[in-house]
Amino acid sequence: MSEHIFADGSYVLLRDRDGVWQVTGRSGQRSELKACHSRQRASVSNSEIARAMAPDAVLQEAVERIGSVRTIQAPSNKVRREFYKQAMDAFDELEWVRVIKTAYLRGKDHCAQPYEEAYSQRAKSYLHGQLAIALYIPLEQVEQYITQKVESDEW
C-alpha cells in the first residue's frame, strides 16, 4: 500500500488506534496527530494511517442503508470472530454497520460473546467519530441521530 501524506487539518483513521484523528503537523515520515474526541496525541509513521475520513455522502449513505445491511452470519464463534476481524480490517463504513448491527441484535437475543461488544465499540469509534465531525454534532449525540434516521425511514 502506498503511503499518503495528509495535509495539516486532515481527518484520518489509524490502523491500530480507534476513533478519528486530525493531522496537526509532520516531521519527516511521521505525522503528528490529535484525537478528535479525546485529549490524546500521537506521532505515527505515515504507514500507520489507514485512510482519510470518508466524504459526507458516503457517511450519509451508510446511515441510510442501515436497515438493509445484512448481519454477519457464521456457523461458529470462531468463524464469526474471523468475520468481525475481516469486516474491521476493511476500513469500510458499511462493514462497520454490519459489525454494530450484528453485535446489537445478538446482544438483544442474549447470545453475544464478549468479543462482539469490543468489535462493536471499535466500529462505533470509527463510524460515529466520522459522523460527529461531518454533522458538526457532539459524539454523544450520534447514536440518537442514527436512531432517529433509522426510525424515520420506511422500510
pLDDT per position as a tens digit, 40-67:
999 999 899 999 999 999 999 999 999 9
Mean confidence (pLDDT) of the chain: 93
Q: How far apart are CA 12 and CA 10, in angstroms?
A: 6
Q: How far apart are CA 9 and CA 143, in angstroms?
A: 25
pLDDT of residue 46: 87
The overall pTM is greater than 0.85: yes
CB 138 within 8 A of CB 128: no
Q: Any idea which residue has 448491527 for its cell?
A: 101
Listed in sequence order, the residues at least 6 apart from 76 whose beta carbon sits closer than 8 Å to its beta carbon are none
Listed in sequence order, the residues at least 6 apart from 99 whose beta carbon sits closer than 8 Å to its beta carbon are 72, 84, 87, 88, 119, 120, 123
Mean pLDDT of 133-145: 96
